[in-house]
């Protein structure tokens, strides 16, 4: 799943706070880079679509949270280097 | 569906809305924005002196208001309402779209101006709420843009001519766009110096806006 504005996958950006699978139900906790970002619905919809298409789960529960607030430090090291850190 | 478990604004349930619900609530807003866009573009053609029919007498005169506040104001405030996810936040794009259409259909001038003014107030409140969720400089910059939007129709209500509103209308766009760019730029390891330079430029811009209002025409 690629962030449509930054062109980087959401895991490398640190936007996936948690993923748990129990009894073929996936619970995903996500964030956006700012609460003013209108792409939350799009991102959760895509996460749901991709996980269901993988066939490993029958149901996906996804939430957007802003606690803790996302910071650029949460990005993966390789992503930081790509952005010139 | 996981529901809210944290403090206000901390956990937003993911999309459980059907496409039809989204279309029903947002399509009218987007339609109003589209009407303003088309009318604004038509007004632009008239301003260029092209031989197109004049459908509404004031379309050319209101070109800037229709494009920036009627169209972009509706779309931008719709984006913020979607991001916040609170029903009341959609009043901003609703007022903006209705305000643009009211100006277009030549209702009494006060109607459109008041609606545009109300839209900006709701948008400022949206930014305040979003800022409480996650305080950030880019949000304060975008909120300053919304304040510029508020000033423009306010001066218009006070009887100022449209050309003198242009700096404030432009201020809404400029501050909103640079606020968004600043937000994206955070991934590129912003230095304190670059943020200081950004703030200095923003302050100079703001002072310039105020001076355009206080200076004699």
B7, pLDDT greater than 90: no
SS3 content of chain A, % helix, strand, coil (to 5): 30, 25, 45
Mean pLDDT calculated for residue range A9-32: 96
Query: CB neighbours of B187 closer than 8 A, spacing ≥ 6?
Result: A6, A13, A33, A72, A75, A79, A83
Is B9's CB within 8 Å of A72's CB? no
Q: How far apart are CA B120 and CA B6, in angstroms?
A: 29
pLDDT digits (tens, 9 = 90+) for B148-199: 999 999 999 999 999 999 999 999 999 999 999 999 998 887 888 999 999 9
- For residue B4, tell me if it sits in a domain: no
pLDDT for B9 equals: 40
Question: Which of A1, A8, A34 to mutate: most B Cβ within 10 Å?
Answer: A34
* CA distances for B106 relative to A7, B115, B121, angstroms: 44, 14, 23
Q: How far apart are the first and last CA of chain B?
A: 58
**What's the token pair of residue B61?**
């005169």
Query: Contacts for B208-213 with beta carbons within 8 Å, 24 or more apart?
Result: B208/B167, B209/B148, B209/B167, B209/B168, B209/B171, B212/B164, B212/B167, B212/B168, B213/B151, B213/B155, B213/B164, B213/B167, B213/B168
Considering A8-17, B98-107, B186-195, the range whose residues carry the highest mean pLDDT is A8-17
Task: Say if residue A37's pLDDT is above 60.
Answer: yes
Expressed as residue numbers, the domain containing B153 is 25-214
B201, with CB counted inside 10 A (0-12, 13-18, 19+), is exposed
**Burial (CB count <10 Å: 0-12, 13-18, 19+), residue A55:** exposed
Residue B87 pLDDT level (bands cut at 50, 70, 90): very high
pLDDT at B189: 74
Give the number of domains in chain B: 1
Q: Is the pLDDT of residue A15 over 90?
A: yes
Assigned domain for B3 exists: no
Q: What is the dihedral of CA A12, A16, A21, A26, to 10 degrees?
A: -120
Share of chain B above pLDDT 90, in %: 73
What is the reported pTM? Answer: 0.88
Within-domain flag for B174: yes
Q: Which of B2, B14, B188 sits opposite A83 (nearest CB)?
A: B188
- B209 lies in some domain: yes
**Is B10 part of any domain?**
no
Of the candidates A30, A66, A72, the beta carbon closest to that of B187 is on: A72
User: What pLDDT, on the 0 to 100 scale, is given for residue B17?
Assistant: 62
> Would residue B8 count as lying in a domain?
no
Domain assignment of residue B62, yes or no: yes
Q: Give the number of A-B residue pairs with CB atoms closer than 8 Å.
A: 92
Name residues whose C-beta falls within 8 Å of residue B90's C-beta, 6 or more positions apart in sequence. Answer: B25, B29, B78, B81
Reported as half-sphere exposure (CB side, CA atoms, 13 A), residue B136 has a value of 25
Q: pLDDT at position B217, please?
A: 65
| pLDDT class of B109 with cuts at 50, 70, 90 | confident
For B26, the enclosing helix (H) or strand (E) is: helix B19-47
Whether B36 maps to a domain, the answer reads yes
- pLDDT at residue B8 tops 50: no
User: pLDDT at position B166, please?
Assistant: 94
Cβ–Cβ below 8 Å for A61 and B83 = no
Please give the pLDDT value at position B145: 97
């Amino acid at each position: 799943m690629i962030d449509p504005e930054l062109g980087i996958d959401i895991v490398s950006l640190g936007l996936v706070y948690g993923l748990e699978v129990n009894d073929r139900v996936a619970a995903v906790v996500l964030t956006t880079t700012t609460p003013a970002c209108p792409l939350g619905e799009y991102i959760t919809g895509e996460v749901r679509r991709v996980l269901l298409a993988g066939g490993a789960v029958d149901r996906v529960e996804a939430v957007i949270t802003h606690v803790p607030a996302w910071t650029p430090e949460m990005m993966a090291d390789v992503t930081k280097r790509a952005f010139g850190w | 569906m996981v529901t809210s478990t944290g403090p206000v604004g901390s956990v937003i349930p993911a999309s459980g809305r059907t496409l039809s619900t989204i279309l029903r609530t947002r399509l009218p807003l987007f339609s109003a924005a589209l009407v303003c866009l088309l009318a604004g573009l038509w007004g632009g053609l008239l301003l260029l002196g092209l031989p197109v029919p004049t459908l509404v007498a004031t379309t050319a005169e209101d070109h800037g208001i229709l494009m920036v506040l009627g169209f972009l104001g509706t779309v931008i405030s719709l984006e913020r309402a979607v991001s916040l996810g609170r029903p009341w936040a959609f009043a901003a794009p609703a007022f903006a779209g209705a305000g643009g259409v009211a100006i277009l259909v030549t209702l009494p001038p006060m109607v459109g101006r008041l609606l545009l003014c109300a839209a900006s107030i709701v948008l400022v409140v949206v930014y305040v709420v979003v800022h409480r969720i996650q305080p950030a400089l880019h949000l304060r910059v975008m909120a300053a843009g919304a304040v510029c939007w508020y000033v423009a129709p306010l001066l218009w209500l006070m009887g100022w001519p449209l050309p003198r509103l242009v700096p404030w209308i432009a201020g809404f766009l400029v501050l909103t766009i640079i606020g968004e760019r600043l937000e994206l730029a955070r991934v590129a390891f912003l230095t304190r110096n670059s943020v200081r330079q950004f703030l200095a430029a923003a302050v100079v811009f703001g002072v310039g806006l105020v001076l355009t209002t206080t200076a004699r025409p």
